[in-house]
Every structure is written in structure tokens, then in C-alpha cells.
């Protein structure tokens, strides 16, 4: 099953055509894409009965984030061995987890404001929680996943790495638009192997990242188990599962996202996202902070 958010309305998608869920269900299910996760099992059973004979064409430019208002966004760092190496770190014993703020969610084809500084790309497979998860055994982890989507964990490295430890991972990764996801949400049964999905990043025509999720150090069921042992996972929460090697910041010379660059992200079985970047016309937050600090010290 494939679901999407078209013009703010929940739709079922098949072969490039879409069925409006609220209309097709005669109001049984809401048009709100976020609300469906509270009734995921019921919705999935109903969706199997839907006919696509009267479906409309999917319009890519109208697609928004398939999970527009997640309650929690967890992200896992250094979860591919090759990314651990390029980052100059050691293999983790436990998942390295940070958060991204829900206000940073964007759609699969949005134009994103560039805040200045060193903006980097990190393509990731994203797991969407489909029911309340608490103290879940790892061998049952997939049972709590509604489906998978594609994401970019965009990161402004200067803010992310500023200050003493613990550094500002969450802020540097949560500028407006820095959590794009899409273009659709796909249930795990749609994949030949849900644990082996190719993801890639192309920046203005140059292949930057390409790997498969079989190389995750901590696979999705383990992440669901680990996180749920600490905090309840709720329907519609997101888990960004980590990025492979190839990020721009560790390259020599660095290759970071600039204004007018096009970022193309792909996941097999899910599709592509395309993003362009425009200047927000404002000073970088660290520059503003420095000016304010100097002004305050002289007052």
C-alpha cells in the first residue's frame, strides 16, 4: 500500500493515480494525512478494498510530506560503518540518537530556504510508527512500523558543531525545511526485502551518496526496540535511520549545498524527492548571536 498527501488531503496511490480517502470511504476516514496513523490497522484493512477505476492522476507538485505533523522525530547518527569512518569516529555500541524538531518538516518537492553557513545533505530511510510502542522486543519491531518513506536530514554544520559538548545537533538540523520527507509512504510488504533498500543523493547532477539499508549497524527493528525501551513511540512518529558515507562536509574539498543547487534524493520502491535552495536573506544565527553578545557587553 502506498499513501500520500496531495494538496493537504490523504490519498491512496497506485501506478501514478490517486484515490481521495475521505471521499472513497464516505467520511469514515479523515482527509487529514496525520490522523490516519491513530487508526492504521483499521485503515489498512479498508484500503485493500479500494478500487482505482475512478482515480485521478497524481500531481507531483501538489504532494506534501506524507507525515506532515509528527509528534516526535528521532534521528540516528553514524549508523553506517562507512559513515563512521569518514566521520573519524569509532563504531557505536548503542544507537547515537538526537532529535529534529517537527517544525522543520517539508514536502518532497519544496523549495528550501538556505540559512547560510555549511549546509550538508544526509539521505535516509525513514520509518513511520503505526501504533503505540513501549518495551518492544527487537524481533517484533517491524510490527510497529506503519511504513517507510524517504528523508533528508539536512544539516547546517557550523551551528550543529558550535559550542562545547553536547553540541547543537538538534538546532543545526532543524532549520525551516530541513526535514523533507516523501514523496509517499510505502508499507513494508511492498518491498522485495524491507531490510535491503537502496538510497542515494545526487547534488546538481553529481552522485554523492549511494548505499543499501542492509548496511545499517542498527536496523529498524533494533531501533524501534531501543527507543521504545526509553520513551513511548506513538502513531505517526518518525525514525530517521541514519545516512551512508558521502556527505559533503568530510570531502576534500568540501562539497556543500549552495543557493540554486538541486538536491535529488532517491529510495528504491519509494521514489524521488527534488529540492532547490534559495537564500533567506538573513545573517547566519551565529553571526547575529555574536553581534548581540558584543552589543550587550558594551551596554
pLDDT at 189 over 60: yes
Percent of the chain scoring above 70 in pLDDT: 97
Question: 141 pLDDT exceeds 60?
Answer: yes
CA-CA distance, 211 to 294, in Å (whole number)? 46
SS3 26: coil
**Is residue 298 predicted with pLDDT exceeding 60?**
no
**pLDDT for 295:** 63
- Write the secondary structure of 146-177 as one string of H (helix), E (strand) and C (coil): EEEEEEECCEEHHHHCCCCCCCCHHHHCCCCC
C-alpha span between 21 and 27 (Å, rounded):
8
As a whole number, mean pLDDT of residues 46-64 equals 95
Three cell numbers, residue 235 = 502513531
pLDDT of amino acid 218:
98
Residue pair 44/186 in contact (Cβ under 8 Å)? The answer is no
Question: Which helix (H) or strand (E) covers residue 68, if one does?
Answer: none
Closest CA to 240 of 10, 87, 79: 79
Ranges of H-type helices in 6-156: 21-24, 40-47, 81-86
Residue 154 in grid coordinates? 539536512
pLDDT at 290: 72
> Is pLDDT above 70 for 41?
yes
pLDDT score at 164: 84
75-134 confidence digits (pLDDT tens): 999 999 999 999 998 899 999 999 999 999 999 999 999 999 999 999 999 999 999 999
Residue 297 pLDDT > 60: no
User: Which ranges of 25-147 does DSSP label H, i.e. alpha helix?
Assistant: 40-47, 81-86
Beta bridge partners of 277: 112
Give the pLDDT score at 89.
Answer: 85
Quick: pLDDT tens for 245-264. Answer: 999 999 999 999 999 899 99
pTM score, whole prediction: 0.95
Question: In terms of Cα–Cα distance, which of 68, 70, 49 is closest to 5?
Answer: 68
Residue 292 has pLDDT above 80, yes or no: no
Q: Looking at residue 113, what is its pLDDT?
A: 97
Tens-place pLDDT, residues 8-37: 999 999 999 999 999 999 999 999 999 999
Q: Which three cell numbers stand for residue 166?
A: 553536547
Amino acid at each position: 500500500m502506498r499513501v500520500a498527501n496531495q494538496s493537504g488531503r490523504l490519498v491512496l496511490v497506485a501506478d501514478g493515480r490517486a484515490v481521495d480517502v475521505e471521499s472513497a470511504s464516505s467520511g469514515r476516514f479523515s482527509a487529514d494525512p496525520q490522523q490516519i496513523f491513530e487508526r492504521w490497522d483499521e485503515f489498512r484493512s479498508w484500503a485493500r478494498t479500494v478500487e482505482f477505476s475512478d482515480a485521478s492522476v497524481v500531481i507531483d507538485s501538489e504532494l506534501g510530506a506524507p507525515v506532515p505533523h509528527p509528534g516526535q522525530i528521532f534521528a540516528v547518527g553514524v549508523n553506517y560503518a562507512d559513515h563512521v569512518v569518514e566521520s573519524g569516529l569509532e563504531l557505536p555500541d548503542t544507537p547515537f540518537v538526537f532529535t529534529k524538531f517537527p517544525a522543520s518538516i517539508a514536502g518532497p518537492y519544496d523549495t528550501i530556504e538556505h540559512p547560510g553557513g555549511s549546509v550538508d545533505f544526509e539521505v535516509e530511510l525513514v520509518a513511520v510508527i503505526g501504533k503505540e510502542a513501549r518495551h518492544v522486543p527487537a524481533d517484533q519491531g517491524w510490527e510497529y512500523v506503519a511504513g517507510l518513506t524517504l528523508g533528508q536530514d539536512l544539516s547546517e554544520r557550523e551551528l550543529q558543531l558550535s559550542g562545547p559538548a553536547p553540541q547543537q545537533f538538534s538546532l543545526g538540523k532543524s532549520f525551516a525545511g530541513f526535514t523533507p520527507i516523501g514523496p509517499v509512504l510505502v508499507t513494508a510488504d511492498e518491498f522485495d526485502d524491507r531490510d535491503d533498500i537502496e538510497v542515494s543523493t545526487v547534488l546538481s547532477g553529481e552522485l554523492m551518496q549511494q548505499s543499501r539499508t542492509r548496511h545499517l549497524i542498527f536496523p529498524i527493528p533494533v531501533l524501534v526496540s531501543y527507543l521504545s525501551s526509553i520513551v513511548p513511540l506513538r502513531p505517526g512518529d518518525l525514525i530517521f535511520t541514519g545516512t551512508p558515507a558521502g556527505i559533503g562536509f568530510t570531502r576534500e574539498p568540501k562539497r556543500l549545498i549552495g543557493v540554486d543547487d538541486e538536491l535529488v534524493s532517491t529510495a528504491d520502491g519509494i521514489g524521488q524527492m527534488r529540492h532547490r535552495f534559495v537564500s533567506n536573506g538573513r545573517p547566519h544565527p551565529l553571526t547575529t548571536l555574536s553581534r548581540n553578545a558584543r552589543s550587550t557587553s558594551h551596554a
